[in-house]
């Protein structure tokens, strides 16, 4: 009741406050404050309902954005782009420093994950082509953007490092397949050259993040002392955000590449994890609240013909291959059949990476194609972001709570 009262009072001030008529250069800061408070309050509500915190963060952004109370205008969201980039770098970096190769994980796992990613692409293409009536090129493009793995939505923990490693491999293969599809469709004149550039950006961002982290390490920005580590980390994040914005890179893979490169040297890894653990909820809340405020949910009405079939194919194929599949084979250390069934829910995409591809500030999926094909691509990607963030994230948190004794733990799982 107290959380509801605080949220209602804050939204009332946002809707009826003087900032609605007296505009100033500080409007974006006001919007950021509203988003942070709303994200915190709705996070508490979500936790009381035993739902993932991400639902509260995302709901705060949607409530304040153009699909809700219009507290955050398009100009305000654009002005907060640097804040979202900083938060995305933080999220990707924290996932990257938890990327390790567990002792119980052999090369059989990554090979099976790679094969699964390719099989998923083929199954999605055939299903979309057969049921939605789209031409094969459009079906292949929709399948490629739907083929990502869950990596950046659930906060990493030591018990999930093996799952995180396999999801990272799957996401890397999915991005390579997306690049190959973009190159094929560009060569056939289906998508413009901007599509190929969009497919290249995640991989370039990953490499740039790794090179940047190694350069910062060589310059001594990450000293073993606590104050030097904190100062160097904040300086590196701010400079990296400016570079990502200037070069039109993607912040999530940039931060992930930096984290993976930095953690290969064991000196700061433990200090970094302790430091990030205390501040990461703020970064996650800010990123997903701004993500919710950016989503153009009104673009889903009216839906393009065939959108329902596309979403149905995506949901069924991903659940069958990545959730039911591990009940038959599992590429890591857990022979327990119930644990295998639970583990697949963590591999499902959660929408963060697809969101970055959809609303890239240069040329994203939202404006990649003209006319009705472009509208279909926009609606399909946007609906999948919502589906992944709400349904798949909830399942990934709820299913382990349903059978807690069989949930994996330890470094090798």
pLDDT of residue 408: 43
The domains of the chain, with CATH numbers, are 2-79 (no CATH), 83-405 (1.20.1530)
Name the average pLDDT for the chain: 81
Mean pLDDT of 384-413: 68
Q: How far is CA 316 from CA 197, 210, 308, 324, 395, in A?
A: 30, 35, 12, 10, 14
pLDDT of residue 31: 80
**Residue 387: pLDDT above 80?**
yes
Q: Give the lowest-confidence range in 119-128, 163-172, 194-203.
A: 163-172
pLDDT of residue 334: 44
**Residue 163: pLDDT above 80?**
no
Instruction: Read off the pLDDT band of 191 (50, 70, 90).
Output: very high
Higher-confidence residue of 213 and 313: namely 313
The string of pLDDT tens digits covering residues 11-61 is 555 554 554 544 555 667 778 888 888 888 888 888 888 888 889 999 999
């Amino acid at each position: 009741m107290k959380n509801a009262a605080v949220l209602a009072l804050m939204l009332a001030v946002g809707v009826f406050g003087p900032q609605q008529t007296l505009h100033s250069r500080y409007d974006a800061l006001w919007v950021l404050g509203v988003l942070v408070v709303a994200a915190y309050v709705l996070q508490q509500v979500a936790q009381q309902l035993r739902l993932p915190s991400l639902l509260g963060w995302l709901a705060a952004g949607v409530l304040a954005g153009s699909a809700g109370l219009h507290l955050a205008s398009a100009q305000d969201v654009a002005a907060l782009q640097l804040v979202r980039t900083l938060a995305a770098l933080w999220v990707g970096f924290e996932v990257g420093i938890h990327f390790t190769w567990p002792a119980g994980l052999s090369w059989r796992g990554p090979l099976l994950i790679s094969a699964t990613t390719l099989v998923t692409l083929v199954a999605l293409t055939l299903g979309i082509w057969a049921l939605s009536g789209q031409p094969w090129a459009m079906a292949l493009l929709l399948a490629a953007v739907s083929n990502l793995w869950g990596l950046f939505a659930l906060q990493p923990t030591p018990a999930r490092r093996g799952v995180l490693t396999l999801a990272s491999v799957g996401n890397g293969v999915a991005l390579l397949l997306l690049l190959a599809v973009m190159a094929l469709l560009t060569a056939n004149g289906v998508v413009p050259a901007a599509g190929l550039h969009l497919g290249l950006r995640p991989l370039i961002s990953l490499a740039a993040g790794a090179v940047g982290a190694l350069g910062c390490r060589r310059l001594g920005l990450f000293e073993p002392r606590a104050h030097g580590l904190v100062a160097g980390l904040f300086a590196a994040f701010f400079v990296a955000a400016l570079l990502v914005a200037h070069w039109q890179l993607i912040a999530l893979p940039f931060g992930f590449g930096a984290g993976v490169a930095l953690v290969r040297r064991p000196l700061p890894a433990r200090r970094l994890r302790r430091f990030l653990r205390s501040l990461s909820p703020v970064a996650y809340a800010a990123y997903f609240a701004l993500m919710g405020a950016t989503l153009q949910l009104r673009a889903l009405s009216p839906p393009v013909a065939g959108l329902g079939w596309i979403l149905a194919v995506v949901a069924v194929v991903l659940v069958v291959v990545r959730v039911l599949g591990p009940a038959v084979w599992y590429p890591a250390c857990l022979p327990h059949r119930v644990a295998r069934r639970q583990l697949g829910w963590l591999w499902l995409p959660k929408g963060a990476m697809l969101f970055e591809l959809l609303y890239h500030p240069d040329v994203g999926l939202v404006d990649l194609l003209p006319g009705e094909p472009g509208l279909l691509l926009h609606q399909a990607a946007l609906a999948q972001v919502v589906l992944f963030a709400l349904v798949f994230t909830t399942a990934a948190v709820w299913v382990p709570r349903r059978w807690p004794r069989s949930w994996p733990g330890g470094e090798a799982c």
